[in-house]
Every structure is written in structure tokens, then in C-alpha cells.
Structure 1
Amino acid sequence: MSFSTQDSDEVLSEMNVTPLVDVMLVLLVVFIVTTPMMTNAIKINLPKTDAVATVQKKDPVVVSVDQDGKFYLAKTEVAPELLEKSLLDVKAQDPEVRVQLQADSGVNYGQVAKAMASIERSGITKISVMTAK
């Protein structure tokens, strides 16, 4: 609010927004309180059934590349040229197989790329690359 020290006949018109803000805050509180009550308005008695067995998720197959560039399939050392064939055998047993690729941070990127290419050529589409936080 401004005050004028001069004698002038100008009218100072400013809108007082305090009542508007008060009304809006009251409406906001009303909506916050009433909204959860409106979501559960329909009461339904769900039927009871016998317990069903939970779906067992299989652990993913781990492909590792150590700091020396050696390949491992589930903690068993595998020659780089045999990795694809081994993964094909794993995929034949389980078509929905998932693979986790773990590589040492000091390993040459070419070795990691070879492992990824072998996984791709074996037809496995569910792959995750593991990293540390």
C-alpha cells in the first residue's frame, strides 16, 4: 500500500487480495479432505478363493568378464568362441532366460563388446548390465 504525501485528488485503487487468498486456502483444504472419501465410494465384497501358487522367477544367468578379459558363464570359465554356443544351450532349456552382464571396470571395452555380441547372437533379448553405485 502506498501513501501519497502530496495533496492530490488521484484515487489509489489497489485490490486487496488477502480475502481471496483466504478463500482459496479454505477451498484447498476442503478438497484435500474430501477427495480420499470420494475414491472409495463403491463398496464391493470380493469373492474368496483358494491360495494360488506364486510365480517362481528364475535367477538370471550371469556372464562375467574379469580384469584379464576371461569370460565366465555362471562362475565357470568359458572360451570366448564358445560363449555363444553355451548361451544357445541355456536358451534352449529356457526360452525366457535373462542375462546379467558383469564386467570389471579395468577390462578392455572390446572384450565387453564381444560378450554383448555373443549374447545378442544367441537370441537372448533380456539383458542387464550390472554396475556399482
Structure 2
Amino acid sequence: MAMNVSPDSAANEPDVLVDINTTPLIDVMLVLLIMLIITIPIQMHSVKMNLPVGNPPPPAAPPPVVQVDIRPDGGLTWNGTPLSGRADLEQHMAQVAAQTDQPEIHLLPDRLSPYSAVAEVLAAAQREGATRIGLIGNEQYMQ
């Protein structure tokens, strides 16, 4: 017995597809990606701060205020009295930090004063433990 294979019979049959079906593969990969995204913990880039809880009662008396002025040449004055240098500034900051009810330090830099002088005062306050410090006179920088 023999089989007759003619060229006409091969032309009528469809070609065999040898490509892999990627649709189920893509579906599985998407499901795995979603599972991976859900199971990865969310990374929190935060700064830990001790924030007060609730509203504190208003103080019975306003705290005392210390005025620190920075002149355009970088010189400092403490309540109108010129300071001789960094050691004098740190001595005054240590006296403020040693008090139980620290006075507020109002830092008023001149518009033309160098930033290094402002940073020096803030660093001295931080080193000595003076916690109540604020910049005032910012309206001079608005245009």
C-alpha cells in the first residue's frame, strides 16, 4: 500500500504555527507583579519629631524677650549692648539656657548682614541648649 501525496493536497492545508502563545505568560507575569507590589512594605522616609499633643494653656505672663541684632558688618548686639565675639555670645546663650523659664530670643539680622553671622548665632543657641529662638523682621526682605 502506498499513499499518494500530491503537491495540491499540501497547498490546501494550513501551515503549522510553531510560535509560543505569550498571552497566558503575560497574564501570569502581571499577577506576580501585582502580588510583589502589594507585599513590599511601604518605605517611610520621615523625620522623628517630638510634637506636642493638644493645645497647651496660654502662659500666665509673657516670657521675657532677648533681642539679638546682627549688624551689616557681622557684629552682634545683645539687647542693644555690643558683644565682643563668639565667646561672649556663647556665654550669654548659656545664661539663657540655664534659666528654668527660658526667655525668647528674637534674632534680627540686618538686610546686608552675612548669612554666616546668622548661622553662627543659631549654632551657638543649639550648642548651649537655648530652645526658644525666632527670626524677626522678615518683612524687610519682601520686595
Q: Which amino acid aligns with 1:80?
A: G
After TM superposition, the score normalised by the length of structure 2 is: 0.50
Q: Deviations over 1:10-68 (max 9, x none)?
A: xxxxxxxxxxxxxxxxxxxxxxxxxxxxxxxxxxxxxxxxxxxx821123211111112
> How many residue pairs get matched?
80
Q: Which amino acid aligns with 1:64?
A: D
Aligned partner of 2:65 among 35, 60, 77: 60
Look up the match of 2:106. Answer: 100
Matches within 5 A, 1:80-99: 80-81=85-86, 82-99=88-105
Q: Which runs of 5+ in 2 are unaligned?
A: 1-58
Task: Find the structure with the greater CA-based Rg.
Answer: 2
Q: How much does 1:90 deviate?
A: 2.6
Q: Deviations over 1:62-100 (max 9, x none)?
A: 111111211111111112321011121133244432111
Quick check: 1:119 aligned with 2:130?
Answer: no
Q: Which runs of 5+ in 1 are unaligned?
A: 1-53
Q: Which amino acid aligns with 2:63?
A: K
Query: Does the 8 Å contact 2:96/2:130 carry over to 1?
Result: no
Look up the match of 2:5. Answer: none
Q: CA RMSD in A?
A: 1.8
Aligned partner of 1:130 among 112, 124, 136: 136
After the TM superposition, list the runs of 4 or more consecutive aligned residues in structure 1 that deviate by more than 3 angstroms.
Answer: none
After TM superposition, the score normalised by the length of structure 1 is: 0.54
